[in-house]
Amino acid sequence: MKNKTVFITGAGSGIGEACARKFASQGANLILNARNVPKLVELKNELAEKYAVRVHLLPFDVRDRNVATNAIQSLSDEWKDIDILINNAGLVIGVDKEHESHPDEWDIVIDTNIKGLLTITRLVVPGMLKRGSGHIINIGSIAGEAAYPGGSVYCATKAAVRMLSDGLRIDLVETPLRVTNIKPGMVKTNFSVVRYRGDKQTADNFYKGIHALTGDDIAESVYFAAAAPPHVQIAEILVMPTNQATGTISFKKDVE
């Protein structure tokens, strides 16, 4: 992975941040995207000093297509050749029933998880095709396999990520480019705090009694796919805690 350029969206926390640390530890140079500029600056300084890699920051909201376009088109020659794109930016807000949920929140989730992924893919993949190499890794979810209570909109977006990944793989079948969909189960990150609208206690309680995955666990799966030989395409990885069987079936020990 040494000297390869990896572009990670949503790199300010959770899985995205863990991916940045993993790839930096293997010598990759990073383009990091998120909305939280102070967090990105802190991460850049840490990784550049610890691993002696180059880190370039592109802070913007993936929902804003014009800003995203201008940011990526502004990349200098030393940064424009992106080897690996990790479409990680994503979120869920609330656990409301579909008919009781908030339309404004639908927009945020759909525009981030689907349209944002499409925008970044559209901006990056043509350059990969021109160079004849590249790998697109989309962070999907077990939620894209089947709906669960209070998650219909989010589940729909992650089902879309699955279809977009499959469709892109089909579209690129005559090329050397690879497409991977990583589908995590229960991962304990700030993601759940956003789901519960900032209620950290409720988010923490969701994971009580089970040894949940961490962002680092998912980053290992992402790196595994990226490090496979060029003729090997890891199309999908579904990764869950040992005590999780499906999106809705898990075993949690009683905790006082």
Q: Residue 62 corresponds to which tokens in the numbers above?
A: 């993936």
pTM above 0.95, yes or no: yes
Domains of the chain: 5-239 (3.40.50.720)
Indicate if 154 belongs to the active site.
yes
- Whole-angstrom distance, CA of residue 42 vs CA of residue 236: 32
Distances (CA, A) of 99 to 107, 108, 109, 110, 148: 15, 17, 16, 16, 14
Q: Residue 143 corresponds to which tokens in the numbers above?
A: 């939620």
pLDDT recorded at residue 254: 84
pLDDT recorded at residue 62: 98
Distances (CA, A) of 138 to 5, 51, 216, 221: 16, 25, 16, 12
pLDDT tens digit sequence for 68-91: 999 999 999 999 999 999 999 999
DSSP symbols for 52-114: ---EEE----TT-HHHHHHHHHT--HHHH--SEEEE----------GGGS-HHHHHHHHIIII
- Whole-angstrom distance, CA of residue 84 vs CA of residue 124: 9
Look at the block and give the residue holding tokens 């350059």: 127
- Whole-angstrom distance, CA of residue 172 vs CA of residue 214: 31
Q: Residue 9 corresponds to which tokens in the numbers above?
A: 């969206």
pLDDT block averages, 10 residues each, the chain of length 256: 95 97 98 97 98 97 98 96 98 96 97 98 98 98 96 98 98 98 96 93 95 98 98 98 96 83
Q: Which of 51, 154, 196, 223 is catalytic?
A: 154
Q: Which residues pair with 158 in a beta bridge?
A: none
pLDDT recorded at residue 256: 59
